[in-house]
Amino acid sequence: METTQKSVDDALRNLWMVPQEIISLGNEIAVTNKHLIQNEIDKILDCFDDIKYSAVETQTDILPCLQINEANLYDILNGILLDMTECVNHYINEAVANVRNSVTAVNTIADEVLIIQKQLISCGKDDEECLNYVIGWIYEATFDIPHRIADEVRHSVSALEEFKIVTAECGTGKIEEVFLHGGTIIGEIMRCVDRIFER
């Protein structure tokens, strides 16, 4: 039973460290994603600035092209950064909840070990029937409990690996949105400017 209790204690100690790893890793991924997204946003904004600079150089009034589109561009780009942060935070919360569920499961296993120990004590050394029953229970627990603990630890490790993938995808998907939505608005502005130049 001592070995089983040590397994429970070790598992709990390891599992309690995982949420901090998740939060730390999630924050690192969010910073990296934000940097990558911001680089793409800067490229879109450089195109936007080039359009405005060309209009100034040619003394062309492109205000009608900018009125709605400029606000939309900034709203969409800022929204994409916010969405990425919310995406990472969602997966942080989900991964931490999964680990906490594993901690709860291991605590339940620890409670089972305590129940077995108490039952053994309550049998007394002369109650052979009770002792045989508890020894059978201990025998089963000796094989069952370490496997259940290992399953919970594996579940948490796999949740951490999955977390790395889905949080990275939060950034990748948002970079694509910058290209799609930012590029669409830049395209609308350029078509509008072209129509003004054609006049």
pLDDT tens readout for residues 123-134:
888 888 888 888
The backbone region for 61, taken as left when phi is positive above 0, alpha when psi lies in -120 to 50, beta otherwise, is: beta
Half-sphere exposure of 195 (CA within 13 A, CB side): 9
Q: Distance between CA 79 and CA 182 in Å, rounded?
A: 11
What b/e sequence results for 133-155 when a residue is b if at least 16 CB atoms lie within 10 Å of its CB, and e otherwise?
Answer: ebeebbeebeeebbebbeebbeb
| pLDDT attached to residue 110 | 80
| pLDDT attached to residue 115 | 86
Which stretches of the chain drop beneath a pLDDT of 50?
A: none
Cβ contacts of 117-120, under 8 Å, gap ≥ 24: 117/1, 120/1
* Closest of 191, 181, 195 to residue 41, by C-alpha: 181
| pLDDT attached to residue 1 | 56
| pLDDT attached to residue 30 | 92
